[in-house]
Structure 1
Amino acid sequence: MHVPDGFLDAPTSVATAVVAVGGVAAALRGARRELDDRTAPMAGLVAAFVFAAQMMNFPVGGGTSGHLLGGALAAVLVGPSTAILCLTVVLLVQGLLMADGGITALGTNITLMGLIGVLVGWLVFRGVLAVLPKRVSSVPVAAAVGAFVSVPVAALAFSVLFAIGGTAPVSATAVATAMVGWHLVIGTGEALITLLVVGSVVAVRPDLVYGARGLMTGHELEIRSGATA
Structure 2
Amino acid sequence: MHMSDGLVNGPTAGAFGLIAVLGLVLAGVRARSDLDDRTAPMAGLVTAFVFAVQMINFPILPGASGHLLGGALVAILVGPWVGSLCIAIVLCVQALLFADGGLTALGTNIVNMALVGVFVGYAVAVALRPLARRSRAGLVATAFVAAFVNTVVASLAFVLEYAIGGAGGASLGTVFTLMIGLHVLIGIGEGVITAATVGAVASVRPDLVHLLRGTAPPLQLRRAGDTGVTESRATEGNPS
| TM-score tier after normalising by the smaller chain length | over 0.9
- CA distance in structure 1 between the partners assigned to 2:230 and 2:214 by the alignment: 15
Find the counterpart in structure 2 of residue 227 from structure 1.
none
For the residue of structure 1 that corresponds to 2:59, the secondary structure is: strand
Instruction: Summarize deviations over 1:48-99 as a string: whole Å, max 9, x none.
Output: 0000010010222344210000000000000100000000110010001110
- CA distance in structure 2 between the partners assigned to 1:51 and 1:134 by the alignment: 29
Structure 2 residues not aligned, in runs of 5+: 222-228, 233-240
- CA distance in structure 2 between the partners assigned to 1:62 and 1:189 by the alignment: 23
The 1:61–1:133 alpha-carbon spacing in structure 2 relative to 1, beyond 3 Å, is closer
User: RMSD value over aligned CA atoms?
Assistant: 1.9
Residue type matched to 2:212 in 1? A
Find the counterpart in structure 1 of residue 94 from structure 2.
94
For the residue of structure 2 that corresponds to 1:69, the secondary structure is: coil
Residue type matched to 2:122 in 1? W
Please give the TM-score of this superposition, normalised by the length of structure 2. Answer: 0.88
- CA distance in structure 2 between the partners assigned to 1:134 and 1:194 by the alignment: 17
Find the counterpart in structure 2 of residue 113 from structure 1.
113
1:135 aligns with 2:155: no
Please give the TM-score of this superposition, normalised by the length of structure 1. Answer: 0.92
For the residue of structure 2 that corresponds to 1:59, the secondary structure is: strand
For the residue of structure 1 that corresponds to 2:182, the secondary structure is: helix
1:217 aligns with 2:218: yes
1:188 aligns with 2:192: no
1:201 aligns with 2:201: yes
Q: Which has the higher contact order (CA 8 A, sep 6+)?
A: 1
1:83 aligns with 2:83: yes
C-alpha contact (below 8 Å) 2:73/2:147 kept by paired residues: yes
Identity value in percent: 52
The 1:42–1:136 alpha-carbon spacing in structure 2 relative to 1, beyond 3 Å, is farther
Residue type matched to 2:83 in 1? A
- CA distance in structure 1 between the partners assigned to 2:186 and 2:58 by the alignment: 9
Find the counterpart in structure 2 of residue 64 from structure 1.
64
Instruction: Summarize deviations over 1:30-56 as a string: whole Å, max 9, x none.
Output: 111111111000000000000001001
Find the counterpart in structure 1 of residue 236 from structure 2.
none
Which structure's residues are more often helix, by fraction? Answer: 1
